[in-house]
Chain A
Amino acid sequence: MAESGGVKMQVENVSVYYGEQVALRNVSLPIVANEILTVFGPAGGGKTSLLRTLNRLNDLNPLARVTGDVFLEGESIYSPGYPVIDLRRRVGMVFDLPVALPMSIFDNVAYGPRLMGVRDRRRLEETVERALRTAAMWDEVKDRLSTSGLGLSGGQQQRLSIARVLALQPEVILLDEPTSGLDPISTAKIEESLRELKRFYTIVISPHNVQQAARIADRAAFFLMGELVEFGTETEVFTRPRDKRTEDYITGRFG
């Protein structure tokens, strides 16, 4: 495992096409272990495409085509025969809209471990509890683990989604605008848990606005129309951006 401060994942010359359309243009950047990387920019800029490239979810879209390469711990994840299913366990993903699978809260969180073949009830219980505690929702749901996940509020469902990913004990967590559908209190709770999580995980998040990006980022990458415009530490990008377009965007002049 990469040490704190080491490079966890490396994106190299990645372009993504959906049919004729170019969604991401020749992007290269490092993802540093135990940090939060925020990828931000206006809608359609390529943030989601980048996240989906990191755990090969684009494979499921028949129209998508990816060129370039991504390395996880120095190993190319696009090399032939690379274990994709394994990759998705190591690089977990939380989507923009909260999705509770139509099963109990417990089963939602235990879904991933069970896929990996964990049957032992005691072990599953431990994993579920740990994941829910880390996602800061254990106290809210511990008495109704067997009720349907569909009965939770939007904010709870999103933290359930995070817990579900945590239960897989991934190395990297991708979050695609995880708070876009949530109220400010739920958002604050999730940001709070992200700051906790980075001690153990590497996090890549596309925040739903600039303020959030600035609040939680260790490093930030600004995307505009498929192009990586600016990449640097939080202070570099948000206080003294090198590119005029970045400055315009974070000061709210467009987007």
Chain B
Amino acid sequence: MIAIGRKRSEAIAKALLWGAALLTLAVLIFILIYILQRGLPVLSPGFLLDSPEQMGREGGIFPTIVGTVFLTAVAIAIATPLGIGTAVFLTEYTREGRATRLIRFGTESLSGVPSIIFGLFGFAFFVIFLGLGWSILSGGLTLAAMVLPTIIRTAEEAIRAVPPSYRQVSFALGASRWQTVTRVVLPSALPGIITGVILAIGRSVGETAAVILTAGSSLRVPTSLFSPARTMSVHFYILAREGISLEMAYGTGALLIISVLLVNLAANWLMNRLVLRAEQ
């Protein structure tokens, strides 16, 4: 009797674990299909290339695509060198000690800060204090601060995975530390670093709270770093929340999901290549 009871509870437990995994998968698929099914039919050349009319009820979403690209580009252009520089410093230029602990504390804490706080900060610091106004620059700088921990962490991991023998050989051939870093270490760590940058792009594209407070929500096509701009995420949020047009919201949402899918595919593809190379 006892044996049978035990076997049964074992089976039930395992079934529950399978159930949990399938439920997670189902939720994801449900959300994706729900949005894509309603949004994909809306996507058309006109939707992508026209400017919105009547607050977005009609027309397309072209300015928000431009806004998203600009904002993300600024964020990545600023965060990438800072992130890689930090990772290089932590791995190649210093020993574990008080300084590294402090830097790690900063990075870890920053990665936990909610985006609305980044929004408040960006608004108080970049928009008001530095007088940059609601602009691509303010939004991009805020996003850069937000994605910095992601880039640091992935770059650090990638650099640590470079075999120590490469460094040794390089030093033994008379390379300086900097030459070793730029000619051997970083090229070897590149796929991992790019994966981090791609993930950061994904976060920037999807971010709303921090952007709406720092870049504004202008529907004009931005012309300079100092123009205000509306990103796809912000546009999507405004369309949905103010009930302007569900149809347009679905279309914008579908485009957002497609971007995120592409970003994840690219990151995965790179990671797999990395694993393959490591196994060789």
Contacts and interface: CB of A to CB of B under 8 A. Distances in A.
Q: Do chains A and B touch in the complex (CB under 8 A)?
A: yes
Chain B: interface size category:
10 to 19
Given A97-B165, A99-B165, A150-B280, A88 B171 contact: yes
A89 B174 contact: yes
A112 interface: yes
Interface stretch (B38-46, B73-81, B176-184, B249-257): B176-184
A95 B280 CA distance: 21
For B172, B179, B184, B187, the residue with the greatest tally of chain A CB atoms inside 10 Å of its CB is B172
Nearest to A87: B174
Interface in B138-180: 163, 165-166, 168-176, 179
Interface of A: 55, 57, 60, 62, 85-86, 88-89, 92-93, 95, 97, 99, 101-103, 111-112, 115-116, 150, 161, 164-165, 168
A112 B173 contact: yes
Contact of B171 (A60, A101, A161, A165): A60
B168 A168 contact: no
Contacts of A103: 187
For B170, B173, B175, the residue with the greatest tally of chain A CB atoms inside 10 Å of its CB is B173
B169 A99 contact: yes
14 contacts: A57-B168, A60-B168, A85-B174, A85-B175, A88-B171, A92-B173, A101-B184, A102-B166, A102-B188, A111-B183, A112-B174, A116-B174, A164-B169, A165-B172
Contacts of B7: none
The B interface is mostly helix, strand or loop, or mixed, namely: helix
Given A101-B184, A102-B166, A102-B187, A93 B175 contact: no
A164 B183 CA distance: 15
Given A112-B173, A165-B172, 17 more contacts: A60-B171, A89-B173, A95-B168, A95-B172, A99-B163, A99-B166, A99-B169, A101-B169, A101-B184, A102-B184, A115-B173, A115-B174, A115-B179, A115-B183, A116-B174, A164-B169, A168-B174
A92 B175 CA distance: 12
Contact of B175 (A57, A62, A95, A115): A115
B95 interface: yes
Contacts of A95: 165, 168-169, 172
B58 to A, nearest CB: 54
